[in-house]
Homo-oligomer: A and B are copies of this chain.
Amino acid sequence: MASEPASADAACPHFTKELSARILAGRPAAVVGLDPRPEALPRTLAPTAPPARRIAAFHEAILPAITRHVPAIKPNIAFFERFGADGYRAYEETCATARQLGCLVIGDVTRGDIGSTAEAYAEQHFTHADAVTLHPYLGSDSLAPFLRRGAALGKGSFVLVRTSNPSAREFQDLPTPQGRLCDAVADAVAAWGRDTVDEHGYSLVGAVVGATYAEELAGFRRRMPHAWLLLPGVGAQGASVDQLGAAFDARGLGALITQSRGITQCFAPGDADWRARIEDAAAAFAAEVLALQSR
């Protein structure tokens, strides 16, 4: 149904190789999440424009500063979709702005559906992002369109393994013959990624592991030795960077720490110096993550 993926081209970086190259060159394993809320935008920024246009303008204004400090961003599509088709366009524009700045884009789209539907999602979301987040509940054939297309184009997939929310334990901790459900999903992530391990030892198939469950990181690191671990939950959700060392390998690779509201909503809507505050917050976050990686 969906058109066949072409192979990767020069304008489209190979997600995991590029990530490792940047981090080995001294950039932090830090990702700024974008969860835009109109009520938290600078009051002076296009105050009369519709919400979706204000969101696009905000990202255009802040991304040059943010991408100076971190190698990747993670726009959460829900906060764009909230404004319908116009919001969806703002998502696409935000992705394009970031990629023009040389920044990697992790589309936080949490999609997951049966094969033919997954083909349609994969086609769309890999057009705008270098990697996406995905649900595991439907099993291999629901992930296959992303993994196949990802392998052809050098695009990454982060499968939800252990989510950062309080109710995560309800199903994810159910005991099964392979350990907890989230352990069984972690084992599947390791298996799904076997064919796309790059020269740095990491696969195009990664996992989302909530930073709020820091005590579990060492276990997941062992279960998925070749998976990039995407760690949301720092800041507003209560996790702190210095608890996350176990997710990294000795080179400082293998994990990406994300922070969202703590960076892009670090100012009051009336603050005149919002740009400077965001850049300072991004710089401080980057420095904190770099310090952890080199510990």
Contact = CB atoms under 8 A, between A and B. Distances in A.
Given A88-B85, A113-B78, A137 B172 contact: yes
Number of chain copies forming the complex:
2
A119 to B, nearest CB: 8
Given A124-B81, A177-B174, A168 B138 contact: yes
A85 B82 contact: no
A62 to B, nearest CB: 19
A176 interface: yes
A88 B87 CA distance: 10
A35 interface: yes
A174 B184 contact: yes
A81 B165 contact: no
A117 B35 contact: yes
Interface residues of A, number: 60
Contact of A79 (B112, B120, B141): B120
Nearest to A138: B163
Contacts of A82: 2, 120-121, 123-124
Nearest to A144: B167
Contacts of A163: 114, 137-138, 142
Nearest to A174: B176
Nearest to A85: B89
Q: Is the interface of A mostly helix, strand, loop or mixed?
A: helix
A242 to B, nearest CB: 23
A228 B254 CA distance: 43
B116 A138 contact: no
B181 A166 contact: no
A194 B195 CA distance: 45
Nearest to A91: B85
A174 to B, nearest CB: 4
A67 interface: no
A293 interface: no
A216 interface: no
22 contacts: A35-B116, A78-B120, A78-B121, A78-B124, A79-B117, A79-B120, A84-B92, A84-B127, A87-B124, A110-B135, A114-B163, A114-B165, A136-B137, A136-B171, A137-B163, A138-B163, A139-B170, A139-B171, A171-B181, A174-B174, A174-B184, A176-B181
Interface of A: 1-2, 35, 37, 39, 76, 78-79, 81-89, 92, 110-118, 120-121, 123-124, 127, 135-142, 160, 163-172, 174-178, 181, 184-185, 188
Given A82-B121, A85-B85, A137-B171, 16 more contacts: A1-B37, A79-B120, A82-B120, A82-B124, A83-B124, A85-B88, A85-B89, A110-B111, A110-B112, A112-B112, A114-B163, A137-B172, A141-B167, A174-B176, A174-B177, A175-B177
